[in-house]
Amino acid sequence: MNRLMLLPLLLIPTFAAAQPAAKLSPEVRKYVSVAEPVVALTNVRIVDGTGAAPAEGQTLVIRDGRIAGVGPAASAQIPAGARVLDLSGHTVIPGLVGMHNHTFYTTRGRSVQLQFSSPRLYLGSGITTARTTGGTSPYHEINMKRGIERGEIPGPRLHLTGPYLTGPGGAATMAQVGTAEQARRIVNYWADEGVTWFKAYTDISREALASAIRAAHARGLKFTGHLCSVSFREAVAFGIDNLEHGFFTNSDWVPNRQPDHCHNDMRDSLLKVDMNGPEVKRTIDEMVKNRVAMSSTLAVYELSFPDRPPLEQRVLDALSPEAREEYLTARKEFSTRAPQSTMPELFRRAQQFEVMFVRAGGLLGSGVDPTGVGGALPGYGDQRNFELLIEAGFTPVEAIRVMTLNGARILGVDKELGSIAVGKIADLAVIRGNPIATPGDIRQMTLVFKDGAGYDAPALLAAVKGLVGIR
């Protein structure tokens, strides 16, 4: 293929054509255990991602990368020549859509681009579509996306976000934007390079944010933010499309707030605001009315909740020895300070806010955000989010919808992805057990289908043991 043709192709949504297993490279093929063009998954429980009740005893037929049929196993027509997998005792859900899924990883003092381990961890954990939501090494991510699309790297469909945009004096890995003109220039540069989302960070000014959003929208691209210096309601008024982390990052309720300033007492305001009062309602109402989506990232915040989350052996196994030590040290510190910790109350409020937002008609997605002190790993933390959304008050099928169809809607790919329906692309996760009755079963993924090719999930996860924190 003419190499010059690659750039414009980046702008075409990745679902334009299903990727037949035969076109995958040997490195990707070694994880594919179901490569036939016609496959029937029989006797499964289906949770379709729309919020509908689970359907028991179903047969799902995949043909040429798409879902060709779904119905009761007893009356299903299985095409001649199909590979038939009897999956009694298993549940099939849509491939997860990760809405805050960085390809880098941090502990305190460590920030590493996980070029090898993150795409494998995501796909092996059922994430078939991911938005990067702020890049610290954008060309790593551009090249990762191309490698995945060419069938050279096993990983999810990627929706690229440019470098973070913050204010002067902000974090060292980010574009520190001083003026409206600079904001416009940065957005246009990365738009030319093929990113489709932008993300503002905690120290951006209102002027720079408004300019960046306008520039992105002029290119047909979308904008999200992890805010502080600009409040939710201010960003909504500028036309932002999505707000990251929900409650934890909203400065609407800081008393005597100075414009363009990230206040230290924001956390205090979150602990004091009346959850049932008019201020919280006003923020939610303005988000819903202006169709601003929100991303839940409970798993990363849970890391600073003393003595949570449950310490999973698979997490410890995936970490490199040094990263493991760093995470466990931070975890111990949170535990030591447990009596003074305000995190349990803050976390409970953040969970409540997410439920209130959805009940008011808001569109909530979710993602892992594999940063902070390093215990929420790519994919594993997305699965933990399922339990935390249920703890928040969502039903299990609602939580699945948040993690699948809602994300696809925020990304604008819901006609092709995000739910189980005839004609849609066959991106699916097969789970041993029943996560609706036993949420922890979501960790037992056996097969993850992307474009109808079935990946051996445990093999993908086994390939990264000891590598998170290194590569």
Based on CB atoms, which residue is closest to Zn ion, 370 or 439?
Answer: 370
Based on CB atoms, which residue is closest to Zn ion, 302 or 369?
Answer: 369
- Report strand pairing: 293-296 vs 364-366: parallel
The least CB distance from residue 134 to Zn ion, in Å, is 5
446 HSE (CA, 13 A, CB side):
15
The least CB distance from residue 133 to Zn ion, in Å, is 5
The least CB distance from residue 185 to Zn ion, in Å, is 23
Based on CB atoms, which residue is closest to Zn ion, 42 or 297?
Answer: 297
**CA 67/CA 422 separation, integer angstroms:** 5
64: left (phi over 0), alpha (psi -120 to 50) or beta: left
Coil, helix or strand at residue 334: helix
The least CB distance from residue 225 to Zn ion, in Å, is 10
Angle at which helices 180-193 and 138-149 cross, to 10°: 20
Based on CB atoms, which residue is closest to Zn ion, 134 or 194?
Answer: 134
> Pattern of binders to Zn ion over 334-363, x per CB under 5 A?
------------------------------
15: left (phi over 0), alpha (psi -120 to 50) or beta: alpha
Based on CB atoms, which residue is closest to Zn ion, 51 or 134?
Answer: 134
The least CB distance from residue 372 to Zn ion, in Å, is 9
Coil, helix or strand at residue 429: strand
Residue 47: how many other CB atoms lie within 10 Å:
28
Based on CB atoms, which residue is closest to Zn ion, 164 or 353?
Answer: 164
Based on CB atoms, which residue is closest to Zn ion, 134 or 365?
Answer: 134
Torsion of CA 201, 385, 239, 235, to 10 degrees: -50
The least CB distance from residue 378 to Zn ion, in Å, is 12
The least CB distance from residue 4 to Zn ion, in Å, is 33
**CA 330/CA 373 separation, integer angstroms:** 7
The least CB distance from residue 461 to Zn ion, in Å, is 23
> Pattern of binders to Zn ion over 361-400, x per CB under 5 A?
--------x-------------------------------
Contacts with 22 (C-beta within 8 Å, 6 or more apart), sequence order: 35
Based on CB atoms, which residue is closest to Zn ion, 203 or 369?
Answer: 369
Give Cα 178 to chain centroid, integer Å.
29
Instruction: Compute φ and ψ for 22, nearest 5 degrees.
Output: -65, -20
The least CB distance from residue 172 to Zn ion, in Å, is 15
Based on CB atoms, which residue is closest to Zn ion, 369 or 451?
Answer: 369
| Interface with Zn ion in residues 245-284 (CB under 5 A) | none
Query: Which has the closest alpha carbon to 196: 219, 173, 175, 213?
Result: 219
**CA 446/CA 93 separation, integer angstroms:** 12
Coil, helix or strand at residue 115: coil
Q: How many residues bind Zn ion (CB under 5 A)?
A: 2
| Interface with Zn ion in residues 116-175 (CB under 5 A) | 134
Residue-by-residue DSSP string for 281-327: HHHHHHHHHTT-EEEE-HHHHHTTSTT-S---HHHHHHB-HHHHHHH
Residues lying near Zn ion in the complex (CB under 5 A) are found at: 134, 369
